[in-house]
Chain A
Amino acid sequence: MTGFVPHTDTDIEGMLADLGLGSVDELFAVVPAALRLAGGLDLPAGRSEADTLEHLGALAGRNRADLVCFAGAGAYDHDIPAVVRHLALRSEFVTAYTPYQPEVAQGVLQALFEYQTLLARLTGMEVANASLYDGATATVEAVNLAVAAIGRPSVWLSQGVHPSWRAVVHTFAAGTGHDVVEVPLGPAGVTAWPAGVGEGSAPAAVVVQQPNHLGRLEDVGAAVALARTHGALSVVAADPVSAGLLRTPGELGADIAVGEGQPFGTALSFGGPYLGLFASRLEHVRRLPGRLVGETVDVDGRRAYVTTLRTREQDIRREKASSNVCTNQTLIAVAFAVHLAWLGTTGLRELALRCARGTRYAREALLAIDGVEPLGDGPVLREFAVRTPVPAATLVERMVEEGFLAGVPLEPEYDPDGRGLLVAVTERRTAAEIDRYAATFEKVVR
Chain B
Amino acid sequence: MSGHEGQGGPVSGHEGQGGPVSGHEGQGGPVSGHEGQGGPVSGRNGRMRAHDGGPQPGPAAGGRATSAPIVGRAEEPTIFELSSPGRRAWSLRATGVPDWPAEELVPAEHLRPEPVEVAELSERDLVGHMTRLTHRQYSVDLGAYPLGSCTMKYNPKLCDEASALPGFTRVHPAAPEAVAQGWLGLLGELEGALCAITGMHAATLQPPAGASGELTGLLLMRAWHTERGNPRSKVVIPDSAHGTNPASVTLGGYETVTVPSDERGCVDLAALREVLDEEVAGIMLTNPNTLGLFEEDIVEIAAAVHEVGGLLYYDGANLNAILGVTRPGDMGFDIVHMNLHKTFAVPHGGGGPGAGPVAVSERLAPYLPGPRSVRDDSGAWRWETPARSIGRVHGWHGNALALVRAYAYIVACGGDGLRRVAEAAVLNANWIRHRLRGHYDVPYDRPCMHECVVAAQTLKRDRGVRALDVAKRLLDEGFHSPTVYFPLIVPEALMIEPTETESPETLAALAEAFIRIAEEAGEADAEAPRGTPVRRVDEARAARRLIPTFDARPPA
Contact = CB atoms under 8 A, between A and B. Distances in A.
Interface in B228-268: 242-244, 246-253, 256
A417 B434 CA distance: 69
Contact of B105 (A285, A313, A356, A431): A356
The 4 closest A-B pairs by CB, nearest first: A271-B396, A60-B167, A46-B414, A107-B137
B142 interface: yes
B115 to A, nearest CB: 4
A95 to B, nearest CB: 4
Contacts of A298: 534-538
Given A83-B89, A306-B542, A268 B171 contact: yes
Nearest to A435: B96
B25 interface: no
Interface in B511-541: 529, 532-539, 541
B500 A5 contact: yes
Contacts of A199: none
Contact of B547 (A172, A243, A296): A296
Interface in A105-120: 105-108, 110-114, 116-118, 120
A303 B95 contact: no
Interface in B98-132: 98-100, 102, 105-107, 110-112, 115-121, 123, 126-127, 130-131
A99 interface: yes
Given A268-B170, A308-B539, A427-B93, A357 B98 contact: yes
B189 to A, nearest CB: 8
Q: Which of B79, B249, B369, B410 has the most CB of A within 10 A?
A: B79
B500 A17 contact: no
> Most chain-A CB neighbours within 10 Å: which of B33, B53, B534?
B534
Interface string A38-71: 0011111111110011011111111111110101
A74 B341 CA distance: 25
B224 interface: no
A316 B486 CA distance: 10
Contacts of B542: 294-296, 306, 308
Task: Give the bracket for the number of chain A residues in contact with chain B.
Answer: 35 or more
A430 B93 contact: yes
Interface string A409-439: 0000000000000000001111110100000
Nearest to B407: A56
Given A244-B115, A397-B176, A5 B34 contact: no
B397 interface: yes
Nearest to A434: B97
Contacts of A340: 118
Contacts of B451: none
A313 B430 CA distance: 31
B34 A8 contact: yes
Interface in A230-252: 243-248, 251
A152 interface: no
Contacts of A58: 182
A65 B170 contact: yes
Interface in B136-195: 136-142, 145, 147, 150, 152-156, 158, 160-162, 165-176, 178-183, 185-186, 193
Given A86-B127, A306-B537, A134 B118 contact: no
Interface in B283-308: 293-294, 296, 298-299
A47 B414 contact: yes
Given A95-B347, A298-B534, A45 B79 contact: no
A26 B410 CA distance: 25
Nearest to B130: A87
Contact of A25 (B3, B52, B106, B414): B3
B176 A271 contact: no
A1 B118 contact: no
Given A25-B3, A49-B412, 10 more contacts: A103-B536, A217-B107, A293-B548, A302-B75, A325-B209, A330-B353, A357-B99, A396-B176, A427-B93, A430-B96
Interface in B380-439: 390-402, 404, 407-408, 410-421, 423-424, 426-428, 430-431, 434
B318 interface: no
A330 B353 CA distance: 7
A292 B92 contact: no
Contacts of A251: 112
B482 to A, nearest CB: 10
B326 interface: yes
A92 to B, nearest CB: 4
Contacts of B127: 83, 86-87
Interface stretch (B210-218, B270-278, B357-365): B210-218
Contacts of A434: 97
A9 B17 CA distance: 17
A383 B428 CA distance: 54
A113 B550 contact: yes
A304 B76 CA distance: 10
A11 interface: yes
B457 interface: no
Given A17-B52, A103-B529, A291 B98 contact: no
A56 B162 contact: yes
B118 A79 contact: no
Given A8-B38, A331-B352, A137 B212 contact: yes
A95 B89 contact: no
Contact of A356 (B96, B102, B137, B502): B102
A341 interface: yes
A316 B137 contact: no
23 contacts: A8-B33, A11-B504, A27-B426, A30-B293, A59-B183, A59-B185, A94-B141, A97-B351, A103-B529, A170-B391, A177-B253, A246-B106, A246-B112, A269-B173, A272-B396, A293-B548, A296-B537, A298-B536, A318-B247, A326-B211, A342-B123, A344-B87, A356-B105
A112 B107 CA distance: 34
Contact of A62 (B182, B210, B298): B182
B350 A93 contact: yes
Contacts of A25: 3
Contacts of A7: 1, 424, 427, 503-504
Given A41-B419, A53-B158, A321-B243, A60 B168 contact: yes
Nearest to A94: B347
Contacts of B150: 97-98
A374 B352 CA distance: 41
Contacts of A111: 130, 133, 350
Contacts of A244: 115-116
B165 to A, nearest CB: 4
B340 to A, nearest CB: 11
A328 B2 CA distance: 38
A384 to B, nearest CB: 12
Contacts of B33: 8-9
B454 interface: no
A309 to B, nearest CB: 6
Nearest to B252: A175
Contacts of B398: 271-272
Contact of B173 (A34, A95, A270): A270
